[in-house]
Amino acid sequence: MSIEDIVETETLVIGAGPTGLGAATRLNQLGREYLIADAAEQPGGLASTDVTEEGFYFDVGGHVIFSHYAYFDDAIHRALPNDDDWTTHQRVSYVRSAGNWVPYPYQNNVSQLPLDLRVKCVDGLLAAAEHRAQTPGHKPKNFDEWIVRNMGEGIADLFMRPYNYKVWGTPTTKMQCKWLGERVAAPNVRTVVRNALTMETAGNWGPNATFKFPMKDGTGGIWTAVSKQLPSKKFKLGKSGQVKNINAKDKIVIFDDGKKVKYQNLVSTMALDGLLDVLEGDKNDQTSIQKMKVAAKQGLVYSSTIVLGIGIRGQRPDRIGDKCWLYFPEDDAPFYRATIFSNYSPYNCPQDNIKLPTIQKADSSLSFDKEPKEGPYWSIMLEVCQSSEKPVDLDKLMENTIKGAISTELMLPTDEIVSLYERRFDHGYPTPSLGRDQAISQILPTLKDEFNIRSRGRFGSWKYECGNQDHSFMLGVEAVDNALFGTPEMTLHETDWVNGRRNLERRLL
């Protein structure tokens, strides 16, 4: 290998999703030498957006923008600076339960359930409160214990257990509870009981009660715009950005096109298990690498996500209204969440004057006119989990999804479907399994201390609790600052602290 065969850079960033773009943004701001590589043809990663042939936009999962960081806000507003680049929404979210739409969060709105189920939930809440008072020092050993301790058996059985199984593909007994933070609302017993008696509902809760969404190009449009703030010569995309192997000893990454990059610092957003598969070194290195692989196999669990989209001709029905996203814990539908994606922006669907042929009626047994017709149009995006403990019949998934949409009143049998979309992501959710913390506490420090590799991002650091878009972006920013200046990585190591405050310490502009 001659020196002419190798490109050298101070920092190599693998992955051009939010984390990689955060790292590159910080490096560019500091005027440092770097390259950013990704096997995809376009930036965005798991926050990208697809467009169907008919012109319907679908994100590759349920994404909205809300932020804990001024630096993140600066970055996306520099990329999309105009007021008309964005729409702002008040979250309108429900859980489909016992044939009713129960406002989110479910545990605060059991008042909307039938009387017998309302009694079951309130009784469980009171029993849980009594148990907490009797055992003030007890700490739940897993997510299931946390649910029962905070919400009682009624809510656990009706919503929390079945819904979380549909999301994670893992029973709640096999999940830890340290990840929860601001993700799950612990109910106020007094408020729940009062509302159950008065039939009132609780107000919005959580960090995404108000959220932003790009007016055009979906969530992926944000990251395309962020990437355009960086010099195009810094990117290696497609085949030239596909990592073949990483030589830890020589600090050289070899790509599928045969090109080699020698780095001083490596920020990787590859899935942690995938990173370990391509990591190589000398005899001493291999001992550490093998130990990390064992830890990963024992402690890292993930599920796959299948995203499905349905484009429909007709006015958005009143029963849908201004709903944003909806949760489905019951087994009458394969999906765990549905997003009324056309409600996020009028540009997520073809314009009304576009003529499209009908593919089928929602009830495929019904006849339909095949002649192309104009809109208007609306759309639904749905998400399905697949795991080793939750198999999915992929051949019949779209058919079963449409049937589920009818049974849950998202669609009517006579609705005209004009577009269908389906895409599977092998690594969809990093599961907060019981063995996760032990695994990453061994793997991440070893990668950093022995190999100067900072593995960060949704699957790079395998921490769902700091896997939102703002977290992911800042994981990249903070990894760079840590590599160059030794600055602590607060998002990775102090996630609860970050989520509990507005971080104004760092600005981009």
Alpha carbon distance 90, 85 (integer Å): 17
The H or E element spanning position 445 is: helix 436-451
Between strands 325-327 and 94-97, the pairing is parallel
List C-alpha distances in Å: 22 to 48, 229, 454, 471.
15, 11, 14, 10
- Is residue 242's pLDDT more than 80? yes
3-state secondary structure of 248: coil
* Mean pLDDT, the chain, whole residue set: 93
Please give the angle made by the CA atoms of 72, 164 and 143, to the nearest 5 degrees: 90
- C-alpha span between 129 and 327 (Å, rounded): 26
pLDDT in tens, 289-347: 999 999 999 999 999 999 999 999 999 999 999 999 999 999 999 999 999 999 999 99
Structural tokens at position 338: 């549905």
The whole-number average pLDDT for the span 423-433 is: 96
- Mean pLDDT of the region 4-19: 92
What's the rounded Cα separation, in Å, for the pair 102 and 202? 11
Topology, domain 3-48+68-84+216-300+433-499: FAD/NAD(P)-binding domain (3.50.50)
Q: Check if the beta carbon of residue 295 is closer than 8 Å to that of residue 441.
A: no
Q: Where are the domains of the chain?
A: 3-48+68-84+216-300+433-499, 106-198, 303-431
The token pair at 221 is: 């449009």
Radius of gyration of the chain measured on its C-alpha atoms: 24
199: confidence class by pLDDT, cuts 50, 70, 90: confident
- Alpha-carbon distance of 224 to 169, in angstroms, equals 32
Tokens describing residue 286: 């291999």
Distance CA 31, CA 25 (A): 10
Segment 59-82 shows an average pLDDT of 90
Query: What are 88's two structure tokens?
Result: 């702002």
103 touches 112 (CB < 8 A): yes
Tens of pLDDT, residue by residue over 478-497, are 999 999 999 999 999 998 88
Q: Please tell me what DSSP assigns to residue 315.
A: P
- pLDDT of residue 506 exceeding 70, the answer is no
Task: For residue 259, report the phi and psi dihedrals to the nearest 5 degrees.
Answer: -70, 150
Q: Which residue has the tokens 């003529």?
A: 355
Residue 211: predicted pLDDT: 85
Q: How much is the average pLDDT of 369-383?
A: 96
Q: What's the chain's length in residues? A: 509
Tokens (6 digits) for 389: 């403990």
pLDDT of res. 108? 86
What is the per-residue pLDDT across 457-466, written as a single tens digit (0 to 9) for each? 999 999 999 9
- Tokens representing residue 17 in the block: 């999703």
- Residue in 10, 7, 14, 8 with CA at minimum distance from that of residue 454: 14
Q: Which two tokens stand for residue 330?
A: 């019951």
CA-closest candidate to residue 390, choices 436, 336, 461, 339: 336
